[in-house]
A and B are shown apart, each in its own frame.
Chain A
Amino acid sequence: MTDSLQDRILAEAKDFADREIRPFAAVFDKNQGISRDLIGKMAERGYLAPCLPRLYGGLELDALHYGLFTEIIGKACPSTRVLLTVHCSLIGETILRWGTMEQKNRILPELAGGRRLAAFALTEPGTGSDAKNVQTLYRQQGDHYHITGKKKFISLGAIADLFLVLARGAAGEVTAFLIDRNSPGISIEPMTGLLASRAAYVAAIGFSDVCVPAENVLGKEGGGFTFIVNTALDYGRYSIAWGGLAIAQESLDVMVAYARNRKQSGRPIHTFQLIEGIIGDGVARVEAARSLCMHAARLRDQRHEDAVIHTTIAKYFASRAANRLASDAVQVHGGNGCYDEYPAERLFREAKVLEIIEGTSQVLQAVIAEYGLRKFYAGPSIKSTSL
């Protein structure tokens, strides 16, 4: 697709977000749910599948434009952005990459059209960063599998029609299953009291001997972690990188607007040098985060082998920038920043979870360090022998 057509889609999305999403973001947060009406409107426009091929009902945006699209939605409402991260990136893109032709033809048009919403069920009460050790179990019986276990913190879980579930077999191998919400043995418990993503229908999901046909295995049996989880989390990290940039940019926007209009001691607070310092740092951080996101996007569009690590770097930096910017936005707002009449309070809460999901900052630091210890070492070459 041409850049001009993609740019037009972005312009329309910006108008849509300003009209249909941003004015209601605080209401969604308070009501603990984005409106189903909004989800329907997004589906009508292809916004639930911006990066999927047109063949399946998507908008076929390339990685760069999909990132920019994610920023537009995430700036308006981080909880609404979750639809893109989970439904489109974690599930849609992963099925596109690893699904059989039958699975793609059957599921992707339904996801793109919003007829089914999908959620990624990996995290468990006792399993977070150590995702290889999921405790949800599966056993094969004839041409079916039976799944038993519990998942937690599943975004969109309360309303999803389809779950991508990671479970462990008898020999410890991890396999991915596509499971219908209406399957007997599934129980869904919406989770409240969350710091962030309050409007993203986060839920705990129980699986009690849930029967899944063999054709609903995604990828090959035993390939669930190395391929499905790693692929999905790479897509998810890319989405969160732009989601972090979105919160950082929105925080900067609200900070600047407040600093220009708020007066203390008879003058706008932006004229105080210490406030200028905060804004100057904020601009630099946003530009740095944007550069990293754009660089990752270009590598992804080239299918470059370093796309994964640069996506990781972008996610790490942008999520930290979001936290710093959101915290500074609260600081510039003073008491008003601690009150939900202003968006700074919500941005501050929403930013934190981005440093936890799709790889904590600490796990990502270790991954980035491994990369750096190789890339920036000019020592002796590695010894090797051939057969």
Chain B
Amino acid sequence: MTIREKIRSFIGANLLVSGEDEEFSDADNLFQLGYVNSLFAMKLLNYVEREFDITVDNEAMDIRNFSSVLNIVSLVEKIRQT
């Protein structure tokens, strides 16, 4: 699986029940759509650090980096390159 597929799969498995019949694109802001709650940011953080063996430092601590599939993929790739 690619990074994007892994992240899509992880997010899909964690949508709030009220959002499960909705569709989301890779560019959608999941927090603004209400598909995930703020605790999900923590879970997502733990997931990307563990799954991709990276450490997200406080410079990257911006909700925008976690708000969509595309932004998370971009964050992971950026950290991996440094």
A387-B42 contact given A98-B58, A223-B63, A373-B17, CB 8 Å threshold: no
The count of residues in chain B whose C-beta lies closer than 8 Å to any C-beta of chain A is 33
A386 touching B25, Cβ below 8 Å: yes
A308 touching B38, Cβ below 8 Å: no
B15 surroundings in chain A (CB, below 8 A): 374, 382
- Give residues of chain B (44-79) contacting chain A, Cβ–Cβ below 8 Å: 44, 46-47, 49-50, 58-59, 61-63, 70
Listed residue (A98, A367, A370) with the most chain B CB atoms within 10 angstroms of its CB? A370
A385 surroundings in chain B (CB, below 8 A): 23-25
- Tell me the minimal C-beta distance from A176 to chain B in angstroms: 11
A302 — nearest CB in chain B belongs to which residue?
B50
- Does chain A have a CB within 8 A of B29? no
A374 touching B61, Cβ below 8 Å: no
A220-B58 contact given A370-B16, A374-B15, CB 8 Å threshold: yes
Partner of B61, one of A220, A303, A381, A387: A220
A225 surroundings in chain B (CB, below 8 A): 38
- Tell me the minimal C-beta distance from B34 to chain A in angstroms: 12
- Does chain B have a CB within 8 A of A304? yes
Partner of B26, one of A100, A230, A367, A387: A387
- Does chain B have a CB within 8 A of A99? yes
- Give residues of chain A (337-387) contacting chain B, Cβ–Cβ below 8 Å: 367, 370, 373-374, 377, 381-387
B17 touching A374, Cβ below 8 Å: yes
Q: What is the predominant secondary structure among interface residues of chain B facing chain A?
A: helix
Bound state CA distance, A214 and B41, in angstroms? Answer: 25
A383 surroundings in chain B (CB, below 8 A): 21-23
A234 touching B42, Cβ below 8 Å: yes
Q: What is the predominant secondary structure among interface residues of chain A facing chain B?
A: loop
A230 touching B17, Cβ below 8 Å: no
A: interface residue count bin: 20 to 34
A100 surroundings in chain B (CB, below 8 A): 58
B50 touching A305, Cβ below 8 Å: yes
Partner of A384, one of B8, B17, B38, B58: B8
- Does chain B have a CB within 8 A of A227? yes
A303 surroundings in chain B (CB, below 8 A): 46, 49-50
- Does chain B have a CB within 8 A of A307? yes
A308 touching B13, Cβ below 8 Å: no
A226 touching B43, Cβ below 8 Å: no
- Give residues of chain A (132-187) contacting chain B, Cβ–Cβ below 8 Å: 132
B62 touching A308, Cβ below 8 Å: no
A230 touching B41, Cβ below 8 Å: yes
Q: Which residues of B contact A (CB under 8 A)?
A: 8, 10, 12-17, 20-27, 37-39, 41-44, 46-47, 49-50, 58-59, 61-63, 70
Subset of 13 A-B contacts with CB under 8 Å: A99-B58, A219-B58, A220-B61, A226-B38, A226-B63, A230-B39, A303-B46, A305-B10, A305-B46, A308-B46, A367-B37, A383-B21, A385-B24
